Amino acid sequence: MVQEGAGVWRNLAGLDDIGTAQLGAAFTATDRLLLGSLGLVGIAAALCHPHPARILASLVAVAIVQAAVTTAALGSPAMRVVHDFLPFPQIIFLFNVSGPVIAATNPLRFDGLMAAADLQLLGPVAHAWRHLLGRPAWLVDLASIAYVSYYVVPLGIGIALYATNRRREFEETSLAVIATLLLTYAGYFLFPTSGPRVPVALGASVLGGGAVSEAVRVFVAAGEMNMLDAFPSGHTALGLVSAWLGWRMLPRARAVLVAAAVGIVFATVYLSYHYVVDVIAGAGLAVAIPWLVPWLRGLVGPSLQRTPRDMTYLS
């Protein structure tokens, strides 16, 4: 009876038709990077958080979903699509679940240092940036739209590549996006910083803007639950990396992607989510990504489900 039950579960999972080596090869470099990051956050939570059970359970659940989807993708084209786009919601989950772990792991806070650096080194720049044109409502609304385009632009690039069957380039894009964000998360653990945030209740009076800006402030407050995410600026890093990827892979969209990157970077300081030094650090990370991503790929291994001719690196 036990053997029959085990056989049923193996058939449901498709393991009777999938060898261990083939299953291992199904995990892409992006998959492995994410699974490793889930494990590291889990270790930090177990060691430092006073009540880690719920965090650990959520991390294990996401890892199980990843394994199940990867297994199912080997025999289903539809599940292959689900698998390939799964890193996008996974990285958002990891961002939010990391918040309490960062707070428990590192008691230091760097807002005082970042604010002092802005004031002493970049005071005129920071002031001019935050008060550009006297903060007209239309510019605040436009900056708010640019700020949330950060969530849309990388996904849009991925969809454009996937829809035209450019799977190798899609995989490169996915790895670059996930690696960029994971490296910013590492910065959050090392330098926990809240940024010069304005409470949502005071947003209209302090930051200005209209209904669009208010909706964006509510969305960000609800969706970005990690409040120690200022240094380095992930919006800046990913905005610039997305423009670089799009410049290489989607030449017809260059103007739009560059405009989006400029808008995202502008919005980070203009809407008081980041210090200027956060933006500088994020830009520095973006510049390093073409060299860091191949190194990370080497650590986790190339995507083995591709043929050797497809196993190319970012260049």
**pLDDT, tens digit, for every residue of 241-292?**
999 999 999 999 999 999 999 999 999 999 999 999 999 999 999 999 999 9
In this prediction, residue 312 has a pLDDT band, given cuts at 50, 70 and 90, of very low
In this prediction, residue 302 has a pLDDT band, given cuts at 50, 70 and 90, of low
Alpha-carbon distance 16 to 238, whole Å?
41
Let me know whether 144 and 289 are in one domain: yes
Let me know whether 307 and 197 are in one domain: yes
Of 53, 72, 105, the position where a domain reaches its end is 105
Alpha-carbon distance 110 to 32, whole Å?
31
Q: What is the 3-state secondary structure (H, E, C) of 32-69?
A: HHHHHHHHHHHHHHHHHCCCCHHHHHHHHHHHHHHHHH
Let me know whether 129 and 64 are in one domain: no
CA quadruple 111, 115, 118, 124: dihedral positive or negative? positive
Q: Mean per-residue pLDDT for 222-243?
A: 96
Let me know whether 54 and 125 are in one domain: no
Q: Which residues in 271-305 are b (16+ Cβ under 10 Å) and which e? A: bbbbbbbbbbbbbebbeebeebbbebbeebebbbb
Residue 177 has pLDDT above 80, yes or no: yes
Q: How far is CA 254 from the centre of its chain?
A: 22
Pseudo-torsion of CA 287, 289, 295, 301, nearest 10°? -170
Let me know whether 191 and 234 are in one domain: yes
pLDDT at res. 203: 94
Alpha-carbon distance 288 to 219, whole Å?
30
- Reference 276, options 147, 116, 142, 132; nearest CA is 116
Omega of the bond prior to 251 within 30 degrees of 0, cis?
no
Residue 7 has pLDDT above 60, yes or no: no
Residue 33 has pLDDT above 70, yes or no: yes
Let me know whether 26 and 131 are in one domain: no
Residue-wise pLDDT for 72-130, tens only, equals 999 899 999 999 999 999 999 999 999 999 999 999 999 999 999 999 988 899 999 99
Of 105, 133, 149, the position where a domain reaches its end is 105
In this prediction, residue 306 has a pLDDT band, given cuts at 50, 70 and 90, of very low
Q: Mean per-residue pLDDT for 3-18?
A: 46
Coil, helix or strand at residue 227: coil
- Which residue range is the domain that position 257 belongs to? 109-315
Residue-wise pLDDT for 42-59, tens only, equals 999 999 999 999 999 999
- Supply the CATH number for residue 305's domain: 1.20.144
Residue 181 has pLDDT above 70, yes or no: yes
pLDDT at res. 18: 52
- Cα three-residue angle 283-286-290, rounded to 5 degrees: 150
In this prediction, residue 24 has a pLDDT band, given cuts at 50, 70 and 90, of low
pLDDT at res. 131: 95
Let me know whether 314 and 251 are in one domain: yes
Let me know whether 296 and 151 are in one domain: yes
By residue count, the chain amounts to 315
User: DSSP alpha helices (H): ranges in the chain?
Assistant: 2-13, 20-26, 29-48, 53-73, 77-85, 87-105, 111-130, 137-163, 167-190, 200-206, 211-223, 234-249, 254-270, 276-300
Residue 309 has pLDDT above 50, yes or no: no
235, with CB counted inside 10 A (0-12, 13-18, 19+), is: buried
Let me know whether 166 and 291 are in one domain: yes
Let me know whether 139 and 214 are in one domain: yes
- Reference 265, options 227, 234, 236, 241; nearest CA is 236
Let me know whether 159 and 290 are in one domain: yes
Do 41 and 94 touch, CB atoms closer than 8 A?
yes
Let me know whether 82 and 160 are in one domain: no
209: enclosing H helix or E strand:
none
Q: Mean per-residue pLDDT for 162-174?
A: 95
Of 47, 80, 105, the position where a domain reaches its end is 105
**Total domains in the fold of the chain:** 2
